[in-house]
Structure 1
Amino acid sequence: MTTRVAVPRKGRPLEAVLERVASLAGVEDRADAIASTLRYEKAVTKGNQTDERSVYDRLADYSDTDTYAPEYTLFRDARPGMPRRIVFDSWRVPVEDGELHLVGREEPFRALRKHEFALGFDAADLVLEEVVGIEPEPLGSLSELNDRIDPRDTDVRVAGGLGDTVYHTLLATPDVSESPTREFIEDYEGPLCISPRYERLVEAVLGTDAMEGVSFRYPGEREEEAAIASVGMGVYLTVTGSTARDHGLRVGEQLFPSETVLLENPPERSADTDALLEQLVGSRLTTPL
């Protein structure tokens, strides 16, 4: 039995999926090779690496006729010049009682919404950005996501996370707050610097009550930490907070985990997808039908 799972074509979420699948199926070497190849191709696209081979020659070099070899494809990158970038396309992995087929998609979450897959991995951020309802009360954990999804909007639910967590975190200059928290934001009135793509996410995570009197500012061409330092208060993804501190910012409360999550579309569910889901994420956030 082959179970198809939609996955991102590149980036941290894909690497988290590869790591989890590798530990499940004992294929660490091949998973590491995929991740290394994609990191190298990203560096070439960004101009941090040079390669005398054309992108088509490199794609041919990465190709293999082995059934269980990974496959790659070309993606038009949005960087200046619109370069061709090699990204993940497909990988068949033998697992207990069958085969797991990872299929690359630009937007796995949307592929599940269209009932193309029963299971898929994507960033929790995207769920917040697209379908989670914005309410007066703040949203603080993955376990709360499904309760905020309108069933009339989509069948897709979050089944569980992979633990590759970085956090959307409150940052502030010391003259605004020495230790910014949700409680501080409830009384705060003024500018809040965020990435434009996270506007809806921040509203959901902080809640509309806390957003009263708050106006968004955007980094533009500036580095996010530098932009937040000039505004005085902001929300940004942090791992250690060291770069924020280098800009004189205080690292405050972690608001919401930016984590790779396993998504499921319950109408497409089967005994096989349920068994695989349990292997991939263990205890689930959703309730089986």
Structure 2
Amino acid sequence: MTETVAVAVPRKGRPLEATLERFAAVGGPAAAALADDVSSTLRYEKAITKGNGSAESGVYERLAAHSEPHDGGPEYTLVRDDREGHPRRVVFDSAELAVDGARVRLVGREEPFRALRTHEFALGVDSADLVLEEVVQLRADGVAGLGDVNARIDPRDTDVRVATGLGDTVHHTLMARPETLPAGTSLDRSFVAEYEGPLCISPRYERLVRAVLGTETLDGVEFVYPDAGVDEEAAVAEAGLGVYLTVTGGTARDHGLVLGEHLFPSETVLLENEAEATGPTEELKRDLTRGVETAIGAGAD
């Protein structure tokens, strides 16, 4: 019997949707139908949790109705959401599908990257941000993109490496008030290297920003953070300079900010624990990375 390859995946959100889209692209019509089913279900449940939708049945009844455990159909579970009142939210738990004739079981995890680090899985999917926040070494020079990440991972720290990005890219972007920039100056890493003063970021991204910009670039820079209840773009406008996630940058421009260099892609990535790799996991990795243009370095320098 062909070995079923287990892949740790996020339980909800953009990273899960990017994962499902990638499996749909390589798994054929059945995988595409599964991806559409799961994505639609979770969007519906998210709307209910956020108060943008309503349901006649309770959360436990919906959980049972959504789940189709027979023949490897999708299963769901409940977690406490962090919104006011901490409502229970339906999230992805598991499903089976076929890729190039091989059986694959997607297994939901709150933190897939950490599940790979503890050798529970050979393959998984998570945000590239988490890799920078946890294991990428801080050096004087910064990280320019996904291709630099593996070279910054100490092999004594973890066996996990980035195999490829899945293309759902938003960026950690430099942004500033126009008056912060001298005339004719580009808003990029070289500007930050000469800058002294406050740099507004989300507190959770402090280590990521240090890794991306490099410790030398941040000499003379003081991190400041948005106050509770204040939009990040508004806080950046008050500080004069900051780093925040952008898709189109429209909200930043609404606050009078100039957009600068895209520092690093906040992208969903396929991860591999090299110590747990087998023939079937390597074949699946090749299927998932085939045709993907992201260049990833192999190993630490």
Give TM-score, length-normalised by structure 1.
0.96
User: How many residues are aligned here?
Assistant: 288
| CA distance in 2: counterparts of 1:184 and 1:138, whole angstroms | 14
Match of 2:215 in 1: 208
User: Is 1:42 aligned with 2:49?
Assistant: no
Does residue 242 of structure 1 match 2:250?
yes
Map Cα deviations across residues 243-276 of structure 1 (whole Å, 9 max, x no partner). 1111100010000011111111111111111110
User: How far is the alpha carbon of 1:81 from its aligned partner?
Assistant: 1.0
Tell me how far 1:2 sits from its aligned partner: 0.6
- Structure 1 counterpart SS, 2:179: coil
Partner residue, 1:259: 267
Instruction: Name the counterpart of 1:101.
Output: 105
Task: Look up the match of 1:5.
Answer: 7
Aligned to 1:281: 289
For the 8 Å contact 1:157–1:286, the answer to whether it is kept is no
Kept in 2: contact 1:179–1:250 (CA 8 A): no
Query: Structure 1 counterpart of 2:12, which letter?
Result: K
The question of whether the paired residues in 1 share the 8 Å contact of 2:99 and 2:284 is answered with: no
Greater shift in the superposed pair: 266-275 or 170-179? 170-179
**Counterpart of 1:67 in 2: which secondary structure?**
helix
Query: Which ranges in structure 2 are unaligned for 5 or more consecutive residues?
Result: none
Select 2:86's aligned residue among 82, 86, 104: 82
* Cα deviation, residue 285, structure 1: 2.9
Instruction: Verify: 1:222 aligned to 2:230, yes or no.
Output: yes
Q: Which runs of 4+ in 1 moved over 4 A?
A: none
In 2, the alpha carbon distance for the partners of 1:179 and 1:210 equals 15
Contact 2:150 2:298 in 1 (8 A): no
Percent identity between the two aligned chains: 61
- Cα distance change of structure 1 residues 244 and 113 upon mapping to structure 2, 3 Å threshold: same
> Are the equivalent residues in 2 in contact too, given 1:140–1:255 (CA < 8 A)?
yes
For the residue of structure 2 that corresponds to 1:251, the secondary structure is: strand
CA deviation string 1:12-53 (max 9, x = no partner): 010000001011112222211211111121121111222231
Q: Which letter maps to 1:259?
A: E
1:109-148 equivalence runs, <5 A: 109-148=113-152
1:193-237 deviation per Cα after TM superposition (whole angstroms, max 9, x unaligned): 111100000001010011111111111221111111111110001
Alpha-carbon distance change, 65 to 6 in structure 1, aligned in 2, over 3 angstroms: closer
Given candidates 190, 195, 199, the residue that maps to 1:192 is: 199
Partner of 2:19: 17
- Separation (CA, whole Å) in 1 of partners of 2:262 and 2:247: 10
SS across alignment from 1:211: coil
CA distance in 2, matches of 1:191, 1:148: 27
Q: How does 1:64-75 map to 2 (within 5 A)?
A: 64-75=68-79
Q: Could you tell me how far 1:113 is from its partner in structure 2?
A: 0.4
SS at match of 2:70: coil
RMSD: 1.4
Separation in 2 of the partners of 1:211 and 1:107?
Answer: 29
CA distance in 2, matches of 1:259, 1:167: 8
Residue 71 of structure 1 and its aligned partner are, at CA, apart by: 0.7
Asked if structure 1 preserves the Cα contact closer than 8 Å seen for 2:69 and 2:75, the reply is no
AA aligned to 1:265 is N
| Inter-partner Cα distance in structure 2 for 1:276 and 1:121 | 13
Q: Is the contact between residue 179 and residue 251 of structure 1 (CA under 8 Å) also seen in structure 2?
A: no
Question: What is aligned with 2:60?
Answer: 56
Offset of 1:287 from its aligned partner?
A: 4.6
Structure 1: distance between partners of 2:81 and 2:23? 27
Unaligned runs of 5+ in 1: none
3-state secondary structure, aligned to 2:178: coil
Measured in 2, the distance between the counterparts of 1:98 and 1:33 equals: 21
Q: TM (normalized to structure 2)?
A: 0.92
Q: How does 1:129-168 map to 2 (within 5 A)?
A: 129-168=133-172
